[in-house]
Structure 1
Amino acid sequence: MGQGQQEKVATSLAGTVSEEISASLAPVDAELERRYPGDPGIRQPVHTVYVPGDAFTAGTIRSWGDQALAALDEHAPDAASFAAVLGLSDDLAAPVYDRVRAKLEREPVEDLRVDFEDGYGPRPDAEEDEAAARAARLIAEAYEEGTAAPYMGIRMKCMEAPVRDRGIRTLDIFLTGLMAAGGLPAGLALTLPKVTYAEQVTAMVRLLEEFEKAHGLDRGRIGFEIQIETSQSILATDGTATVARMIQAAGGRATGLHYGTFDYSACLGVSAAYQASDHPAADHAKAIMQVAAAGTGVRVSDGSTNVLPVGPTSKVHDAWRLHHGLTRRALARAYYQGWDMHPGHLPTRYAAVFAFYREGFEQAAARLVAYAHRAGGDVLDEPATAKALSGYLLRGLDCGALDIAEVARATGLTRADLEGFAVPRRADLTVSAR
């Protein structure tokens, strides 16, 4: 056949076959869209800070930032000393250190939860009522004054019988207080702890539906995180993944799955000395959480370390190395969020996060440019990889590891371009013939 001659095309199937197959798969198409809507495309905080309800004040966020800066001043007063503690390369030392200090001055906390569960404990009802009302007032004022973290809310007590009524009342007082102060903030975040059965998630949905009706809010306005702290929340008695049931029971309201390092470890009988987020039991739980949440729009968060960076410099450095290593390990496993329990954890949280995004920045940018322009190179990327590359850059921008100007210089792409790659249409993720 000569060059330019049109190829003869022949088919064997009747035209109705495709139509019949599409009709038969229509319920599956609808189910895919409902159960797996994809990532919500909004910012995910790099951490969650928990502060007991009686300890939370209007100055908590600034205090955490100031304490973290003081820890740097005392134990790593310059980029070289900080890099030496954490093993950062020479080329990353100054950019990371400078960004960490700037972050602690500008936005020390990305996500804060006022805790009415384990960190608060049982209190007289009047005392918890007052603390919940105060939390609502302070959070509303913080958003009004521009001093709030991007995400703020409470962790209530769980849905187990001994504390159920108390948890419901605290949630009601808190949300009612926010409404009275002007409405629910965009960054509202609620955490339901110690979930063991999907029915407890259903109960939480019922609570939120009733609150929305009472205040004329759109159905589904209030979402919540599910905290995974028990073996029953991972595997049911029949061997199925309970956490997957929980996501579906939330009816689209679940925003995150948060791993609880110490409760979960204790539930499995792990001795106290070995309870950590890198224990094999933790890896198993988080892997199931990750697979269950994939494609649903629910994000997965790692847990915390209880080794605090306090005391003499040698002790602080040891704790920093541990926390930095655990954070980097989590990032490599696509757990982009974790818990921080002490202001001294903030320097190493941000150092690990910033180094993670900066050290891979040039390669990610080059690969995304090659994909965008269908250029050559030694890696042939698919749409799903372009999604991951742009998501990587966006997360780096959101937390402050990267600047929009340097990303634009390296890629020639705008933030809107990156968001287009990061949240593609479902059809764009199908395997294409090349």
Structure 2
Amino acid sequence: MNIQITGGEMGHLEELAGRLDRALAGADAALAASYPGERGVRQPVHTVYVPGDRYAAQAVAEWSAEAGRVLAEHGHSAAEVADVFDLRPDLAAEVYDRVRAKLDTEPIEDLRIDFEDGYGARPDADEDAAVLAAARALAATVHDGSAPPFHGIRIKSFEAPTRHRGLRTLDLFLGELAREAGLGDGLVITLPKVTSVEQVSAMVTALDALETAHGIAAGSLRFEIQVETPQAILGSDGTALVARMIAAGAGRVTGLHYGTYDYSASLGVAAAHQSMEHPVADHAKDVMQVAAAGTGVFVSDGSTNMLPVGDPEAVRSAWRLHARLVGRSLARGIYQGWDLHPAQLPSRYIATYAFFREGLEVAAARLRAYVHGGDSSYLDEPATAAALAAFVLRGVECGAVTADEVERLAGVDRSHLARLARRRVD
């Protein structure tokens, strides 16, 4: 027996739905504004920072040469890399040539010219001169195409003792970049040691004013918050201030970057135990990930200060530690970290490429089954399909895999991957 329901009999549901729409309109708008989804941009796998007075136009080339030299000396073949990093021989063979090419063509994905801890406190005249020189050098690399895809400056914090110096440095840097026509989409500003929501609001005010002062397009300057203080994670009122900081950024915040050593020291962790994998670090990054989820704000891990320098065993020991920490971050869903030395680039890329290549075939097969149908031992839902697509797309963007490989294995091209990954376009 067929039962037909007429429009009149459903009228009460239409009226109820209308009431709910009106009641939830504010919440709907707030959700869309606060959680706009992933941005349609690539996230770099790392940030390299170079002290402001040591940065020059040839810095990237110098890092490339030194990273290549160290790899050639201590990991001169795929077999040796397999031994050093405990990789399967076939995986090491897939990774090795790709990493060598990466070190030659794009050794640094994100560069930060540092005028904070890596530079220190100097006379104003000295810092002024160094800032202007750095801006001119960066502009030259933007013009000749040798600048990393992402690049910018870390200023001193907006805490009272350093606020005026940080603002002055930012003003000089942006003004000189604008005069040299060196401003581009890859520019990023890092605000360190943030301790209050008000400092983030102050940064928005400062960028508004500096855009006007230097003829920069309104709203185009973005910045990342460096989470290096316990106040950023838990405020005195018991709330997670880092979530409120994202909102206070008025759409200008692009990233939350964990500061391994400042944060650990602030919690009383002894120097010997300060690490990216200490429980206090994991707690901070867990809060950062939850705060940033769905906002389009990237999360970055910190750094390890055990450098691959010295005798062969010291280099390889530091490589193993670095690679393990990078792999740990990747497995936890944190796809970026900080590198402090050219010799860390081989271990960064070996660990990253191994992560993406090792998971490629299974992820691609699951995507193929989801998109095209077919037998699969997984019953993937849309959210998992988005995660699979995002994983594969990150591998393509950093150079671990090629778009042709993905199309062959998964049957989807790069634009389809982006749609599946729920990338939005600003």
TM range, smaller chain: over 0.9
Describe the SS at the equivalent of 1:343. coil
- Length, aligned pairs only: 421
Do the aligned partners of 1:387 and 1:424 also contact (CA within 8 Å) in 2? Answer: no
- The answer to whether structure 1 residue 19 and structure 2 residue 42 are counterparts is no
Gaps in structure 1 of 5+ consecutive residues: 426-434
Cα distance in 1 between the residues matched to 2:161 and 2:14:
63
Cα distance in 2 between the residues matched to 1:128 and 1:101:
36
Cα distance in 2 between the residues matched to 1:424 and 1:300:
16
80-89 vs 12-21, greater mean Cα deviation:
12-21
> Please, what is the CA RMSD of the aligned residues?
1.3
Under a length normalisation based on structure 1, what TM-score does the superposition of the two structures give? Answer: 0.95
- The answer to whether structure 1 residue 339 and structure 2 residue 343 are counterparts is no
Cα distance in 1 between the residues matched to 2:214 and 2:27:
36
- The residue aligned with 1:429 is none
Q: Post-superposition shift, 1:255?
A: 0.2
Q: 1:183 to 1:321 in 2, by over 3 A?
A: closer
Write the deviation string for residues 54-84 of structure 1: whole angstroms up to 9, x where unpaired: 1111111111111111111111111101110
Describe the SS at the equivalent of 1:50. strand
- Trace 1:16-95 onto structure 2 (pairs within 5 A): 16-95=15-94
Do the aligned partners of 1:257 and 1:300 also contact (CA within 8 Å) in 2? Answer: yes
In structure 2, give the amino acid aligned to 1:21: L
Cα distance in 2 between the residues matched to 1:222 and 1:424:
21
Cα distance in 2 between the residues matched to 1:309 and 1:108:
17
Do the aligned partners of 2:53 and 2:134 also contact (CA within 8 Å) in 1? Answer: no
- The residue aligned with 1:362 is 361
Cα distance in 2 between the residues matched to 1:17 and 1:134:
65
12-21 vs 380-389, greater mean Cα deviation:
12-21
Describe the SS at the equivalent of 1:191. strand
Describe the SS at the equivalent of 1:226. strand
Cα distance in 1 between the residues matched to 2:296 and 2:30:
15
Describe the SS at the equivalent of 1:96. helix
Q: 1:65 to 1:7 in 2, by over 3 A?
A: farther
In structure 1, give the amino acid aligned to 2:219: G
Cα distance in 2 between the residues matched to 1:87 and 1:53:
37
Describe the SS at the equivalent of 1:305. coil
- The answer to whether structure 1 residue 277 and structure 2 residue 276 are counterparts is yes
- The residue aligned with 1:428 is none
Write the deviation string for residues 282-325 of structure 1: whole angstroms up to 9, x where unpaired: 00000000000100111100000000000100111110000000
Describe the SS at the equivalent of 2:188. strand
Describe the SS at the equivalent of 2:53. coil
Describe the SS at the equivalent of 1:18. helix
Q: Post-superposition shift, 1:379?
A: 1.0
- The residue aligned with 1:404 is 403
- The answer to whether structure 1 residue 178 and structure 2 residue 177 are counterparts is yes
- The residue aligned with 2:209 is 210
Cα distance in 2 between the residues matched to 1:320 and 1:119:
22
125-134 vs 258-267, greater mean Cα deviation:
125-134
Describe the SS at the equivalent of 2:256. strand
Write the deviation string for residues 89-127 of structure 1: whole angstroms up to 9, x where unpaired: 111011111111110011100000000000000111111
Q: Post-superposition shift, 1:130?
A: 1.0
Cα distance in 2 between the residues matched to 1:212 and 1:60:
28
Describe the SS at the equivalent of 1:157. coil
Do the aligned partners of 2:178 and 2:216 also contact (CA within 8 Å) in 1? Answer: no
Q: Post-superposition shift, 1:281?
A: 0.4
- The answer to whether structure 1 residue 381 and structure 2 residue 380 are counterparts is yes
- The residue aligned with 2:218 is 219
Do the aligned partners of 2:140 and 2:182 also contact (CA within 8 Å) in 1? Answer: no
Under a length normalisation based on structure 2, what TM-score does the superposition of the two structures give? Answer: 0.96
In structure 2, give the amino acid aligned to 1:203: A
- The answer to whether structure 1 residue 413 and structure 2 residue 425 are counterparts is no
Describe the SS at the equivalent of 2:264. helix
- The residue aligned with 1:123 is 122
Do the aligned partners of 1:140 and 1:185 also contact (CA within 8 Å) in 2? Answer: no
Gaps in structure 2 of 5+ consecutive residues: none
Cα distance in 2 between the residues matched to 1:16 and 1:115:
59
Describe the SS at the equivalent of 1:165. helix
- The residue aligned with 1:193 is 192
Q: Post-superposition shift, 1:424?
A: 6.1
Cα distance in 2 between the residues matched to 1:326 and 1:367:
27
In structure 2, give the amino acid aligned to 1:158: S
In structure 2, give the amino acid aligned to 1:371: Y
Runs of 4+ in 1 over 6 A off after TM superposition: none
Do the aligned partners of 1:309 and 1:320 also contact (CA within 8 Å) in 2? Answer: yes
Q: 1:317 to 1:374 in 2, by over 3 A?
A: same
Cα distance in 2 between the residues matched to 1:135 and 1:410:
45
Q: Post-superposition shift, 1:145?
A: 0.2
In structure 1, give the amino acid aligned to 2:346: P
Write the deviation string for residues 123-154 of structure 1: whole angstroms up to 9, x where unpaired: 11111111111111111110110111000100
